[in-house]
Structure 1
Amino acid sequence: MDMIKDAEQGKIDLILTKSISRFARNTTDCLEMVRRLIDVGVFIQFEKENINTGSMESELMLSILSGLAESESVSISQNIKWSVQKRFINGTFIISYPPYGYINADGKMEVVPEEAEIVRTIFKECINGKGAFLIAKELNERGIPSKRGTVWHPSTVQGVLKNEKYTGDVIFQKTYTDSNFNRHINYGEENQYLLEKHHEAIISHEDFEKAQLIMEQRGKEKGVSKKEGKYQKRYAFSGKITCGECGSRFKRRIHYSGKNEYIAWCCTKHIEHTVKCSMKFIKDEDIKVAFVTMLNKLVFSCDMLLKPFMQGLRNIDEKAYLKKITEIEDSIEKNKNQRNVLMELMSKGLLNPGLFTKQNTELLSKFARLATEKKHIFFAVSGNASKIDESQRLIRFCSRNRMALKFNDNVFEDFIDEIVVNSREEIVFKLKCGLSLKERLVE
């Protein structure tokens, strides 16, 4: 990708590559990159296939050869996977990049005494009740570099605490690569292999299990999903408050005023760098009062606001959208037929190669534009239908309920999509029906 950028900046005149399989892993990527480079006047010479994109007769041959190269890559990948799995099973797989605390010495993991002591400290502090954030902070204050020679982060500390290799055991195939060469965490899609006493241990199994139990308990308390690694909805406002200044999410915190404490929501960027975002905290209770006020206004003005709004959504002419989609589909079919005719003329030698490449590229570009336009219209139609449904739900709620006296988590979850904080005095409630309503924050 760096090479492609250099080519687009005029730093490269010609690219030489051994074969198509070394340039791209699949046909789509290969053709896309070739066209992208041709547009800026940079050509590629594929030595094995003896193809030069500056003088090639058509994209047809490149497509065929790219497909063969893709099949070859898949075959090689499968062979490598088979070989690696055999080494997993017999315990001969070499860990090329050992975790912090170990080095690779002639294919074997050996303990680094100074780093091992830090690992023991991390586990000890965790078992004694310290969180990953505090442990990382103390390591940074002591000037101890991480594995990559940079600062420690809470995620780095958690990575150490969750790594079974510190017990001397190793689990192979924690991740896997799919058929499209994308890597994923292995949640049971592929076999895993446990090899006990693979190398010298730094931490006992007992201490490792204690640390896992403590982290699991903390995760439950914070509503963390182990598989997804994301916060679940423990609080109604979690993940729903956005800073109007920098776009960051707000985080829940406990503030103290003398002997009293209160819940506040703070911009994560402001917490890290007050210079980069000046947005200060807002109180949890103030947001709840503002929501109750906004909801009561909707209940009061249901006939004057919500019903006309929903009627406006219904008046959007979906028939015109559907007619446009039909026209686009006809154009896509026509485009496909034109490309087939071009291909036939080219195969019979009735069309100049340069003219074929030019016209085929133009047709492909038009096809991409039509497909994108069709997708946008589909999204517009489905999105409008969804907003009508949400508006109907809100109207039913407001018609059947009296003025609210207190905040209700379930009602908030049902109707609010997001809160945008414009200032400490004003927030915007973005409703699922598409309405955006401003409300003042009053202490």
Structure 2
Amino acid sequence: MKKITKIVKDSKDTVMKEKLRAAAYCRVSTDSEEQLVSLETQKLHYEAYIKANPNWEFAGIYYDEGISGTKKEKRSELLRLISDCEQKKIDFIVTKSISRFARNTTDCLELVRKLVDLGVYIYFEKENINTQSMESELMLSILSGLAENESLSIAENNRWSVQRRFQNGTFKISYPPYGYDYADGEMLVNLEQAEVVRFIFKEALAGKGAGKIADALNKKGIKPKRGNNWISTTIRGMLSNEKYVGDAILQKTYTDDNFNRHTNYGEKDQYYIQNHHEAIISREDFETVDKLINQRGKEKGIVKGSGKYQNRYPFSGKLKCSQCGGTFKRRIHTNGNKKYIAWCCQKHITQADECSMKFVREGNLQRAFITMMNKLIFGRKVILKPLLKALRDMRKADSISRISELEKLIEKNTEQKEMLIKLMAKGYLEPALFNKENNELEIEAESYRDEIESLNFAMNSEISKTHEVRELLRFTNKAQMLITFDGKIFESFVNQVFVYSREEVGFQMKCGITLREGL
């Protein structure tokens, strides 16, 4: 009898042969004709790219045009792509680069995690990253931080523009202090608030401290410009504010390369303008109050602006509340017979209804830093070296090319001015027409020079970041895994710590990236 053997198809082979439904995402940030042509090129490229892969099934092209990539909520097609993934219509996504997908590190990681949970993976063509085979999302965090720098460079140019307005005296104070209003480009005295300002200085001249003055104002039911209650730091700031005598100091604070604001203790140039606006307080009273404040500081051993008190500890001035933006203050808490160090949001201490952020233990912060640094030490070759290379290459070629182009435009501009002078000398041009054309060329040349200076400024900022990454890489190459917290190491590499909750913080490194860690 013939024996018949039935061959059963292996289910695993069937799964292996099922095609992945692959879609592509494209985006351009402006709706100019050149950018729209680029978008069409991307669409054609990815349609052909997906259809050429025998293991993929074309699931469509999703594209946003003329929309910034900074926030995902502004991109309708990206949101539609995510929705289709949730509805199990897509298995795999292809995109040009992290900067095309998201320029905000938080959004990028949030979307990647969400898609991975849905079983949908992303391939970033430029960075050659496939989220399905990625060993750690820390690498993606750093690379997406690099993409975010492209958006931040625009802010750097704006910062440079403000610096120029400081120098030529055209900067306008858009947010005047308590006691003044802003109208038609000028600071005008608010008569009602001015009386409160005079009361504050009168009390200070009588020897009362900032805390007692704040309490007196709160009892009278007088509201400050921001918040519901007066606090001592607000009073101290007013008593040292030169605007109350009619002067203005420009650039009291500055923004660093990571766009964090700091008090200017001489790191940047300042510009003093006398008689900038109408005074509320006489110079004599203002100077007397300043002497009283300095005398009290000397008695307590605190030198103004030295940071002796504020920066006694590694975390001093570096912990920032993600809810209200306030700084954390060091305190000693007691649990039974045991005492421990805690850091509390200053706004939560005084106005708990406006900020609900609870305290965090110093020991937890130290352990989070140790964990984060050990991750960098372990993964330095796959994390910091690519980061250093990317920073070295970033935007430099484009900037140099644009500077070269601008220099040629300046040369052409100079030739045009020389031609005007010759025509004027030969009597072919009327003086009025000559002045008009010459002024236009001067304005044009100035704009070219300004742009060159702006590009140089941006490149110098990238050089600063590169230096910080190089220092971090040099340290991690030599360092052993950390066991205990070292304040000097913390101060060397960390710019700020953002407290998101009692379970998570973000260490913003001096090289510009922010790394989240659990507490």
Q: TM-score of the superposition, structure 2-length normalised?
A: 0.44
Cα deviation code 1:37-84 (max 9, x no counterpart): xxxxxxxxxxxxxxxxxxxxxxxxxxxxxxxxxxxxxxxxxxxxxxxx
Amino acid at match of 2:313: Y
Corresponding residue of 1:140: 217
Corresponding residue of 1:295: 373
Relative to structure 1, is the Cα distance of residues 241 and 328 closer, same or farther in structure 2, using a 3 angstrom cutoff?
Answer: farther
2:512 to 434, 437, 440: 434
- Which runs of structure 2 are paired with 1:6-405 in the superposition (5 Å)? 123=207, 132-133=210-211, 135-143=212-220, 154=232, 182-183=272-273, 214-218=296-300, 220=302, 224-225=304-305, 233-246=311-324, 248-254=325-331, 256-259=333-336, 260-271=338-349, 273-274=351-352, 276-316=354-394, 318-339=396-417, 341=419, 350=429, 353=432, 357=436, 360-361=439-440, 363=441, 366-367=444-445, 369-405=447-483
Alpha-carbon distance between aligned partners in 2 of 1:411 and 1:297, rounded to the nearest angstrom: 15
| 3-state SS of paired residue (1:254) | strand
Compute the displacement of 1:431 (Å): 1.5
Q: Are the aligned partners of 1:161 and 1:212 in contact in 2 as well (CA < 8 Å)?
A: no
Corresponding residue of 1:409: 487
| 3-state SS of paired residue (2:300) | helix
Structure 2: runs of 5+ lacking an equivalent:
1-167, 173-194, 224-228, 251-269, 275-283
Q: Are the aligned partners of 1:306 and 1:395 in contact in 2 as well (CA < 8 Å)?
A: yes
Amino acid at match of 2:217: N
Relative to structure 1, is the Cα distance of residues 143 and 315 closer, same or farther in structure 2, using a 3 angstrom cutoff?
Answer: closer
Amino acid at match of 2:429: L
Alpha-carbon distance between aligned partners in 2 of 1:380 and 1:338, rounded to the nearest angstrom: 30
Relative to structure 1, is the Cα distance of residues 402 and 273 closer, same or farther in structure 2, using a 3 angstrom cutoff?
Answer: same
Q: Are the aligned partners of 1:339 and 1:360 in contact in 2 as well (CA < 8 Å)?
A: no
Relative to structure 1, is the Cα distance of residues 218 and 337 closer, same or farther in structure 2, using a 3 angstrom cutoff?
Answer: farther
Compute the displacement of 1:249 (Å): 3.6
Alpha-carbon distance between aligned partners in 2 of 1:351 and 1:181, rounded to the nearest angstrom: 42
Compute the displacement of 1:294 (Å): 0.4
Cα deviation code 1:94-145 (max 9, x no counterpart): xxx9x9699xxxxxxxxxxxx98x668x53x66xxxxx32x22432355398
Structure 1: runs of 5+ lacking an equivalent:
1-27, 33-96, 103-114, 127-131, 163-172, 185-194, 200-204
Corresponding residue of 2:157: none
Relative to structure 1, is the Cα distance of residues 428 and 375 closer, same or farther in structure 2, using a 3 angstrom cutoff?
Answer: farther
Amino acid at match of 1:373: E
Relative to structure 1, is the Cα distance of residues 326 and 258 closer, same or farther in structure 2, using a 3 angstrom cutoff?
Answer: same
Alpha-carbon distance between aligned partners in 1 of 2:357 and 2:491, rounded to the nearest angstrom: 25
Alpha-carbon distance between aligned partners in 1 of 2:374 and 2:249, rounded to the nearest angstrom: 53
Alpha-carbon distance between aligned partners in 2 of 1:139 and 1:336, rounded to the nearest angstrom: 65
Relative to structure 1, is the Cα distance of residues 410 and 160 closer, same or farther in structure 2, using a 3 angstrom cutoff?
Answer: closer
| 3-state SS of paired residue (1:182) | strand
Compute the displacement of 1:414 (Å): 0.9
| 3-state SS of paired residue (2:386) | helix
| 3-state SS of paired residue (1:253) | strand
Q: Are the aligned partners of 2:495 and 2:510 in contact in 1 as well (CA < 8 Å)?
A: yes
Q: Are the aligned partners of 2:321 and 2:328 in contact in 1 as well (CA < 8 Å)?
A: no
Corresponding residue of 1:36: none
Task: Out of 405-414 and 345-354, give the one that drifted further.
Answer: 345-354
Amino acid at match of 1:350: L
Compute the displacement of 1:290 (Å): 0.8
Compute the displacement of 1:310 (Å): 1.7
Relative to structure 1, is the Cα distance of residues 333 and 271 closer, same or farther in structure 2, using a 3 angstrom cutoff?
Answer: farther
Amino acid at match of 2:365: I
Compute the displacement of 1:258 (Å): 4.7
Relative to structure 1, is the Cα distance of residues 371 and 411 closer, same or farther in structure 2, using a 3 angstrom cutoff?
Answer: same
Q: How many residues align?
A: 290
Identical residues among aligned pairs (%) = 30
Q: Are the aligned partners of 2:497 and 2:506 in contact in 1 as well (CA < 8 Å)?
A: yes
Compute the displacement of 1:426 (Å): 1.9
Q: Are the aligned partners of 2:424 and 2:434 in contact in 1 as well (CA < 8 Å)?
A: no
